[in-house]
């Protein structure tokens, strides 16, 4: 588990992980999600991490269904344990999904029935704070998967820090980028232009960019 969530869940002796940033960014993110998401259907969350976003967003985005995922079993256990805390009927159990692999589990023929995707098709994908804390192949895989899965008009919501025109947008992002690369040379704050180009290569067009608190961006793509 990356040390983003090494902190135990507020001293609770169970599998719940706790990432303090989620409490700070969840309301600004929710505001954008409410603006850009389709009014119904399933939202696939890639890299759900602790699951704190999933349990916060699902009840507030009803009647949409929220499908959390993460390749890390420790994260999935955290999501599943947080999920037991809330009584919502529109939050799926977490699924194992590595964005850089293909096909994604939700594309398999068995998934249609397993997740009732015929009645509740995936109309949007949300990805928060992953592409800078993963190799570039994860971003490429995210775009490729979104290109394969999303219907025409479907939305890819991306959140995180970005460089613009090759420049960091704040001194805090310079330090953050350095700390990421020290942890893993394949990680790092991405160039927005490169991310947009990767999306366009998968027929996803840039729809809107929202400046967010703490020098982050919400970047909206449409299939
Ligand atoms: C910094 S955490 C962000 C978690 C959560 N979205 C949040 O904002 O709190 C990064 C997450 O990306 C996940 N991740 C890393 N590589 C991935 C990949 N190739 N595909 C999907 N998720 C990945 C990690 O397991 C981790 O849960």
pLDDT in tens, 185-223: 999 999 999 999 999 999 999 999 999 999 999 999 999
Pocket residues for ligand 1 (CB within 6 Å)?
2, 4, 19, 22, 46-50, 53, 70-72, 75, 98-100, 128-130, 133-134, 138
Tell which atom from ligand 1 comes closest to the C-alpha of 128: 6
Output the pTM of the full model. 0.95
Return d(Cα 77, Cα 82) in angstroms, integer: 9
To test the ligand 1 pocket, which listed residue (82, 130, 146) has its Cβ within 8 A of the most ligand atoms? 130
Tell which atom from ligand 1 comes closest to the C-alpha of 25: 8
Return d(Cα 131, Cα 148) in angstroms, integer: 19
User: Which is nearest to 17 in space by CA: 85, 115, 98, 63?
Assistant: 85
Tell which atom from ligand 1 comes closest to the C-alpha of 22: 9
Tell which atom from ligand 1 comes closest to the C-alpha of 138: 19
Collect the ranges in the chain with pLDDT lower than 70: 1-13
- Residue 1 is predicted with a pLDDT of 39
187 Cα to the center of ligand 1, angstroms: 12
User: Which is nearest to 57 in space by CA: 86, 30, 82, 85?
Assistant: 30
Identify each DSSP E strand in the chain by its residue range: 42-46, 65-68, 122-128, 155-160, 162-163, 190-191, 205-212, 216-222
Q: Which two tokens stand for residue 126?
A: 């949300």
Protein residue with its CA nearest to atom 14 in ligand 1: 47
Protein residue with its CA nearest to atom 25 in ligand 1: 72
Contacts of 33 by beta carbon, 8 Å cutoff, 6+ apart: 57, 61, 126, 157
- Residue 12 is predicted with a pLDDT of 56
């Amino acid at each position: 588990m990356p040390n983003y969530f090494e902190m135990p869940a507020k001293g609770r002796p169970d599998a719940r992980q706790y990432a303090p940033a989620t409490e700070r960014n969840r309301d600004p993110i929710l505001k954008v999600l409410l603006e850009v998401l389709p009014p119904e259907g399933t939202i696939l969350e890639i890299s759900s991490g602790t699951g704190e976003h999933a349990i916060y967003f699902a009840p507030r985005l009803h009647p949409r269904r929220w499908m959390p995922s993460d390749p890390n079993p420790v994260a999935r256990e955290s999501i599943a344990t947080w999920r037991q805390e809330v009584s919502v009927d529109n939050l799926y159990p977490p699924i194992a999904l590595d964005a850089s692999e293909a096909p994604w589990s939700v594309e398999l023929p068995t998934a249609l029935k397993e997740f009732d995707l015929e009645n509740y098709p995936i109309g949007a994908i949300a990805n928060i704070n992953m592409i800078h804390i993963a190799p570039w192949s994860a971003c490429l895989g995210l775009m490729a998967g979104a290109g394969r899965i999303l219907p025409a008009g479907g939305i890819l919501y991306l959140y995180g820090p970005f460089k613009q025109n090759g420049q960091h947008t704040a001194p805090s992002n310079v330090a953050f980028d350095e700390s990421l690369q020290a942890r893993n040379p394949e990680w790092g704050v991405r160039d927005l232009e490169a991310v947009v180009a990767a999306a366009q290569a998968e027929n996803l067009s840039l729809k809107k960019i929202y400046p967010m608190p703490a020098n982050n961006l919400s970047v909206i793509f449409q299939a």
